[in-house]
Amino acid sequence: MIQTVGLISFLASICCLVLFAEEFSISKKFPKGHIGILSALGLIAAFANCFIPAGNLASFSSGLLLTLFLLLCLLKGGVKNGGADQMTGLLLLCLFAMRMGGNESQLTKAALYLLGIQTGLSYFVAGFVKASNRSWWDGSAVKNLAKLEKYPLPENFRKQITASRFLQKSSGGLVIFELCFPLAFVNTQLASGFLLLGAVFHLFNAYALGLNRFFWSWIAAYPAVFYCAIDFHR
């Protein structure tokens, strides 16, 4: 449990570094300097949290990250980056609970279960929604997504997606993967497989669509999924 919490804390720090760096970069284009200042403080707090292993200082550090994140959302008028920011909020809340609970406490265990199960549910719900949409089964959803100019796909890659039937049809495989993700809790072998596929999926989205926050916010929660797969069978 101690190692799992430590790994989640480190990955959450990287997640926050990416988040606050993006917000700091965006803030330069607008006159709202308070968002830039808050983002700068967040960068400092996230960097410091990488090197705090445990104890009262770790509790303070994780609480500070959570507070800065919530203040950022408040200043921006709510969650603006969809599921990634929602997942980051859950991640930081659970991390704070783990740090407050300390080693091997029931609070820490409950926070790990909450984070792990919610991560599994997030995939299942996404798959359930996609499954009711025929465009995800025939590949047209991926083709239409690739045509959107708001995503920074390299032009050659954009052409490959829109022309390749394999890439379009693979969207059906994504639906099946998301619907079956709860099987990751059955044992560690299945957990390893699903988490590896999930990491590849989010890495692809980060490269193709520029969804960097989605990659880190979900990857940071993966140790909790693996912990649940182990603990369910003790």
Encode pLDDT of 83-127 as tens digits. 888 899 999 999 999 998 877 788 999 999 999 999 999 999 999
Give 45-48 contacts, CB < 8 A, sequence gap 24+.
45/16, 46/13, 46/14, 46/16, 46/17, 46/20, 47/13, 47/17
Give the number of domains in the chain: 1
Return the closest-CA partner of residue 191 out of 131, 120, 128: 120
Spacing of C-alpha 138 from chain mean position: 27
87: domain range? 2-231
Q: Which residues contact 16 (CB under 8 A, 6 or more apart)?
A: 42, 45, 46, 49, 65, 69, 88, 92
pLDDT tens across the length of the chain (234 residues): 778 888 899 999 999 999 888 888 776 555 556 777 888 888 999 998 888 877 788 889 999 999 999 988 888 776 666 688 889 999 999 999 999 887 778 899 999 999 999 999 999 999 999 888 888 787 777 666 666 665 656 666 666 665 566 666 677 888 999 999 999 999 999 999 999 999 998 988 887 777 788 899 999 999 999 999 998 876
Query: How would you classify residue 30: left for phi > 0, otherwise alpha for psi between -120 and 50, otherwise beta?
Result: beta
Say if residues 67 and 85 touch (Cβ distance below 8 Å). Answer: no
pLDDT tens-digit map of 136-146 = 787 777 666 66
Q: What is the pTM of this model?
A: 0.86
The amino acid sitting at 105 is: S
